[in-house]
Structure 1
Amino acid sequence: MFLYFIGEWITYTLMAIALGMDAFSVSLGFGMANIRLRKIFFIGLLVGIFHIIMPFTGMLLGQMISNQFGTFAVYLGGVLLMILGIQMFISSFSNGENHIMLDKFGILVFAVTVSLDSFSIGLSLGMFGVKAIFALFLFGSVSTILTWLGFLLARKVNHLLGAYSEILGGSILFAFGLKLLLA
């Protein structure tokens, strides 16, 4: 019984890390915009909340939603990331501080986009129970931590790259969105 619990814990942890890696990758791109620590903290929490809400919603909807909706959501997320990447790339050539990723809508788009794949995981997790609640908590916690790590790592790299960091960040977002579309 104990070994079974450990095996499930390891499985959920690996799933949580896999889901959180999207948030980590995208936060590397967004982090190049030199975002304040307070905002990084908020964004990480929001990503964690969405990594709980999306699989929970998937569990509730269960078999009522087809796999095609999950595919559509991934494509939508890819297009949104590409648009944000292009906007960040273009804004790197302007003198203003008008970055879409710094406003409330951009943060919400970021959190939803990196959490879309967890909806599909929720569909496959199935029935409710203590283990499902544990998995949801783990998904939220790990994605929050990985988001923070991505932003903080990007802040360090940002100082090394200077003016080119925002171009790199926009390119990362665009490439990640393209990867979602082509996968």
Structure 2
Amino acid sequence: MSEMVSEVITLIIMAFALGMDAFSVGLGMGMYKLRLRKIFNIGITIGLFHVWMPLVGLFAGKFLSEKFGVFASFIGGLLLIVLGGQMVWSTLKKGDEKVITPIGFGLLLFALSVSLDSFSIGLTLGIYGAKTVMVILCFGIVATILTWAGLLLGRKVQSWIGTYSEALGGAILLAFGIKLLIAFW
């Protein structure tokens, strides 16, 4: 019994560490003018990606090398740079049109970018034979909660800094993407 409790605690800590990027990116994305319903949907989407990606990683972990996990971080960094750059660019332009928003395809890019590291962790956990249900439940629940927290905090900050909030959000995404790329090299 104590072995199972130890494994759950380890998985929750790991899920929290993986979910912090969802929190950070959620903080940036929360600076869009989002309604609570959209924030709820974004959190659920991120949570589902944090279930799906490690699940795929767990199954693929038996077949793929560890080098693919590093490549996943590289792709995630590039996606965050594209999202952040678009947010900063849209505030510099005079028009209100946005190329990428946290709706539809933009939401899928957002979810993919913050869950790619869950895939690489899933690869490792698959190699070591972790319990699949516990992994996906911990990762999904923690990522959803942290995403909601980031989005709600970003929404609050957006009201404090007004029109520059989207540029700040984009800068956060850019910085996080650059950090992932630097870690890749």
Instruction: Give the TM-score taking structure 2 as reference length.
Output: 0.92
Q: Which amino acid aligns with 1:171?
A: A
In the other structure, the counterpart of 1:101 is 101
In the other structure, the counterpart of 2:59 is 60
Task: Indicate the SS of the match to 2:101.
Answer: helix
Q: Does 1:8 align with 2:13?
A: no
Distance 1:54 1:97 in 2: 31
In the other structure, the counterpart of 2:155 is 155
**CA RMSD of superposed structures (Å):** 1.8
Query: Structure 1 residues 132 and 102 mapped into 2: Cα distance closer, same or farther (>3 Å)?
Result: closer
- Greater shift, 159-168 or 64-73, is seen at 64-73
TM superposition shift of 1:95: 3.5
Distance 1:96 1:4 in 2: 54
Q: Aligned pairs, how many?
A: 182
TM superposition shift of 1:99: 4.9
In the other structure, the counterpart of 1:110 is 110
In the other structure, the counterpart of 1:77 is 76
- Greater shift, 172-181 or 87-96, is seen at 87-96
Tell me if structure 2 keeps the 8 A contact 1:59–1:128: no
Q: Which amino acid aligns with 1:169?
A: G
Query: Structure 1 residues 39 and 57 mapped into 2: Cα distance closer, same or farther (>3 Å)?
Result: same
TM superposition shift of 1:62: 1.9
Q: Percent identity?
A: 54
* Runs of at least 5 residues in structure 2 that lack an aligned partner in the other structure: none
Task: Indicate the SS of the match to 1:126.
Answer: helix
* Runs of at least 5 residues in structure 1 that lack an aligned partner in the other structure: none
Flag the structure with higher helix content: 1
